[in-house]
Amino acid sequence: MKKIINFDMDGTFVDLYGVENWLDDLINERTRPYDEAKPLVNLSVFARLVNRLQAQGYEINVISWTSKNSTEEYHNAVVAAKVAWLKKHLRSVHWDNLMIVKYGTPKNTLSEGYLFDDEARNREMWGEGANDVQEMVAALRELLT
């Protein structure tokens, strides 16, 4: 398996779906849920693991979608909001690639290696190396040599 680790954001390590009225905001092209979302994992532990893996030669990427059926303007606003969330909450992580792309873009066409994603369809399309997020921290620890 290539030493590349890809993370989805929403529902993986960012609790977008826990923000009250998140869907209404997305439908109405408001970035509030992306701005207010809390972490789903202990970010100190997560950042340390990611940085250790990167030091061992892993490429560390984000592959995340913007909102479904969004205008180009809203797409760009969501990209900016997601980048701002990462800079605010995970300052110590220096991502190799931030791929924040239009909703529905097949993630398996953007990278290879490992994928951590809460959406089963993305994991199925990815194939080998795809991981559910339930045991993400434990799986990252197992990758450390």
DSSP 87-142: HHH-TT---SEEEEE-TT--GGGT--SEEE-S-HHHHHHH-TTEE-STTHHHHHHH
Residue 1: pLDDT band (50, 70, 90) is: confident
DSSP helix/strand/coil, 6? strand
Q: Mean pLDDT over residues 76-101, rounded?
A: 98
Q: For the whole model, what pTM was predicted?
A: 0.96
Q: Which domains are seen in the chain, by residue range?
A: 4-143 (3.40.50.1000)
DSSP helix/strand/coil, 50? helix
Amino acid at position 72, single letter: E
Nearest alpha-carbon partner for 55 in 145, 130, 138, 135: 145
pLDDT at 145 over 90: no
